[in-house]
């Protein structure tokens, strides 16, 4: 299974591509999409959308993971990030309905490094522990790989949560589903 991880940005977007199997996770590729040549924000949205389409055409991932919005003090920056992220998701959602997963920055850091407030360098060090020495050009690139790795490490736990919710919807015991979900959620918290 191929997983595409995306660290969205309005000027630079990092991505990582991993191959996941039940026995191992392999690094395939990573990079940075650069939109900084567009000085004005709105003209960037079309190229951001097109670049996301090209990524999924090039790598044909089975699942896509993306970092969720982060809290920023500057509302204008948050709005631009949200719009850039929306342009990417707009390109991906039609092709991958139900196959896109979103993770908070702290969950990504915690899953990859064991610490939810790990530094960028700490994330790079952990990625090198997983995949060997990689010469990431920027932290955007390593963050894209971290998003993909986070999904690879958590995807089975998410499947269990979804199965439990589906069991509940199909008339099976609500209390049983909630007990199972509590166990899985506790495991996620312990990461």
Model confidence pLDDT, tens digit, residues 44-82: 999 999 999 999 999 999 999 999 987 777 888 899 999
> Quick check: 67 and 99 in contact, CB under 8 A?
no
Q: Give the DSSP per-residue string, 81-127.
A: HHHHHHHHHHHHHTTSTT-EEEE-HHHHHHHHHS-TT--HHHHHHHH
> Quick check: 47 and 63 in contact, CB under 8 A?
no
pTM for the model? 0.81
pLDDT at 170 over 60: no
Q: Is 7 a catalytic residue?
A: yes
How high is the pLDDT of residue 181? 47
Burial label, 64 (beta-carbon count in 10 A; 0-12, 13-18, 19+): buried
Q: Is 67 a catalytic residue?
A: yes
Whole-angstrom CA distances from 170 to 99, 177, 186 are: 22, 11, 24
Q: Is 143 a catalytic residue?
A: no
Phi first, then psi: what are they for 28, rounded to 5°? -110, -55
> Quick check: 88 and 52 in contact, CB under 8 A?
yes
Q: In this predicted model, what pLDDT tens digit does every residue of 92-104 receive, in sequence order? A: 998 888 889 999 9
Q: Which of 29, 63, 121, 140 is catalytic?
A: 140
> Quick check: 187 and 157 in contact, CB under 8 A?
yes
Q: Which of 40, 57, 63, 67 is catalytic?
A: 67
What are the boundaries of each domain within the chain? 2-154
Q: Which of 7, 63, 141, 143 is catalytic?
A: 7
pLDDT range class, residue 174, cuts 50, 70, 90: very low
pLDDT at 161 over 80: no
User: In terms of Cα–Cα distance, which of 47, 63, 7 is closest to 30?
Assistant: 7
Between strands 12-20 and 100-103, the pairing is: unpaired
Please state which of the four CATH numbers 3.30.420.10, 3.40.50.300, 3.40.47.10, 3.90.950.10 is assigned to the domain occupying 2-154: 3.30.420.10
């Amino acid at each position: 299974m191929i997983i595409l991880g995306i660290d969205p940005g309005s000027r630079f977007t990092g991505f990582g591509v991993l191959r996941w199997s039940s026995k191992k996770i392999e690094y395939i590729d990573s990079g940075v999409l650069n939109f900084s040549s567009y000085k004005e924000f709105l003209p960037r949205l079309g190229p951001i959308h097109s670049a996301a389409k090209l990524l999924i055409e090039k790598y044909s991932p089975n699942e896509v993971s993306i970092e969720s919005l982060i809290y920023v003090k500057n509302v204008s920056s948050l709005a631009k990030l949200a719009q850039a992220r929306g342009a990417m998701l707009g390109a991906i959602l039609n092709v991958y309905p139900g196959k896109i997963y979103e993770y908070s920055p702290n969950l990504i850091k915690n899953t990859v490094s064991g610490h939810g407030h790990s530094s960028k360098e700490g994330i790079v060090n952990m990625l090198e522990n997983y995949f060997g020495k990689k010469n990431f050009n920027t932290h955007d690139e390593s963050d894209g790989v971290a998003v993909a790795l986070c999904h690879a490490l958590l995807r089975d736990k998410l499947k269990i949560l979804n199965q439990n919710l589906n069991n509940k919807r199909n008339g099976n015991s609500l209390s049983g589903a909630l007990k199972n979900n509590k166990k899985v959620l506790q495991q996620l918290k312990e990461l």
